Amino acid sequence: MFILSTFRDTLTIIPKDFRKSKLEALSDEINKKFANKVLLSKNASYCRNPTIQHDSNQLKKVVHDVGLCVCLHDIIDTSEEFVHYGDGSSYVKAISQVKFRMIVFRPFIGELLVGKIKTCTPEGVRVSIDFFDDIHIPSTLLKHQSVFDQSEQAWVWHYEPGLLLWMEVDDLVRFRVVSEAFTDITPMSAPRSRGGLLDTNLAGNSAQIPPYQLRCSIQEDGLGPLAWWQDQ
Amino acid sequence: MTLEQTPSAVLEAQSALLSNFEVLEVLRELGAKHAEQLAAEPGVLFAENLKTIQYEIMQYLASDQSPVGSQTAEQVKNLLEALKPYPLTKSEKLQIINLRPERPVELYVIIEDSEDRGLTDKFDEILSLVANHLPKFPKQQERDSGLTV
């Protein structure tokens, strides 16, 4: 479910934090920047530091994606700090290059997880594991002969004639990760609508697709609501 | 090294796998560190995104439904030692520790091709090793203690 990823980044320590030890200041900075964020490896754009100029052509293409960052695990190496003089002497910062390892949520394909059903819709079932909600079990990956019950808003597995097994909101389910999808949701430059006018609805443009989602299955024996298999 | 050319980079997307128990340990340590800092300096603020994910993951991993809340490094190490004779892959062992299977059907979904690998006969042995080495789910612990009182 969790992995360690090794990153390198250039971090800024603002004067307020000079009283902290270097490692402590850097740890806080790393956590502030990455915790609870989905990181795509091309994410140089996301991590752009406004004080440092770099050419946007240098942004790497998506080679592999990282996952949902949890927190810093350890700092492996740091460079000497640089102090840049910006406009006015009040604007002094120490900039340091750091190599570090993050704890990242990135279940492997085929991994089993246990979560709680959040919603049931005709399209399938959505599961939450408290800190991550973009888990979908599409209707095609539910048990065969599952039917969506409109009146109960729940899925029913017609296991055999006369035996109905329900999947309801808040049930705990065991499921297998089948595939993952990463989407770059950094807002793009405003797209032009057909009339050539700028479409200012940037949020509507980017907020709909989650940056990281998991597609899961409960088709095998042993998967599905835990209660189904408790008497085995 | 020129600063201009070094935006953040992913050096190795996957350096290692971590068990849920190890992640919980790190988050608990972080919580203890924050509590210490808060005691030394009341009113100190921590990054909100960090606190959010820390709280939510701890809620998930240390809930009644999670078997890893009371695991210790010692127990995990002993179990791995005991599982050595069985030809299990690294990710299978990881999932055994994370999920603490209790029934054959739970082990069956964790272990791939168990029949072809001749592991199906060993299910009972593996399950009893797991039961002996890893602490029970919090819910069962409560139930057990309820019975003895």
How many domains, in total, are found in chain B? 2
Contact B17 A49 (CB under 8 A): no
Q: pLDDT tens, position by position, for chain A (232 residues)?
A: 999 988 888 887 777 777 788 888 888 888 888 888 887 765 443 433 333 333 333 333 333 578 888 999 998 888 777 766 654 444 455 677 888 899 999 999 999 999 999 999 999 999 999 899 899 999 999 988 899 999 988 999 988 888 888 898 999 999 999 999 887 766 555 555 555 555 555 555 545 677 888 999 999 888 999 888 886 4
Q: B53 with B84, same domain?
A: no
Note whether B62 and B83 are same-domain residues: no
Task: Give domain status of residue B22, yes or no.
Answer: yes
CATH number of the domain bearing residue B139: 1.20.1250.40
Query: For residue B1, is it within any domain?
Result: no
Question: Which residues numbered 148-207 in A keep a CB inside 8 Å of some CB on B?
Answer: 172, 174, 176
- List of chain A residues whose C-beta atoms are within 8 Å of the C-beta of residue B19: 2
Q: Give B149 to chain A, closest Cα distance, Å.
A: 26
With tokens 């597995």, the residue in question is: A157
Indicate if B105 and B130 belong to the same structural domain.
Answer: yes
Q: Are residues B77 and B27 in the same domain?
A: no
Does the CB of B38 have a partner CB in chain A at under 8 Å? no
- Domain identity same for B15 and B57: yes
Contacts of A229 in chain B (CB under 8 A): 103, 105-106
B56 in reach of chain A (CB within 8 A): yes
Range of the domain at B134: 72-145
Counting one residue from chain A and one from chain B, the pairs whose CB atoms sit within 8 A come to 154
DSSP 8-class letter at A142: S
* Chain A nearest C-alpha distance from B148 (Å): 24
Query: Which of B95, B7, B57 lies closest to A69, judged by CA?
Result: B57
Domains, in order of start, for chain A: 2-105 (3.30.1490.120), 112-229 (2.40.50.140)
**B2 within domain boundaries:** no
What tokens were used for B54?
A: 């820390």
A28 contacts on B by Cβ (under 8 Å): 47
Neighbour-count burial of B147, counting CB atoms closer than 10 A to its CB (0-12 exposed, 13-18 middle, 19+ buried): exposed
Tell me the nearest-neighbour CA distance from A60 into chain B, angstroms.
Answer: 9
CA nearest neighbour of B29 among A205, A31, A37: A31
Q: Is the full-model pTM beyond 0.90? A: no
The least confident of B8-17, B50-59, B88-97 is B8-17
ipTM of the complex: 0.85
Does the beta carbon of B16 lie under 8 angstroms from any beta carbon of chain A? yes
Residues B91, B59 within the same domain: no
Write the residue in B3, B13, B23 that is nearest to A41 by C-beta.
B13
Phi then psi dihedrals of residue A156, to 5 deg = -125, 135
Q: Do B11 and A222 touch (CB under 8 A)?
A: no
From B68, B89, B121, give the residue that closes a domain: B68
Question: In whole angstroms, how far apart are CA A210 and each of A104, A185, B52?
Answer: 17, 8, 18
Copy the structure tokens of residue B84.
């050595």
Residue where a domain stops, chosen among B48, B68, B88? B68
Query: Is residue B25 domain-resident?
Result: yes
- Helices in chain A by DSSP H: which ranges? 22-34, 202-206
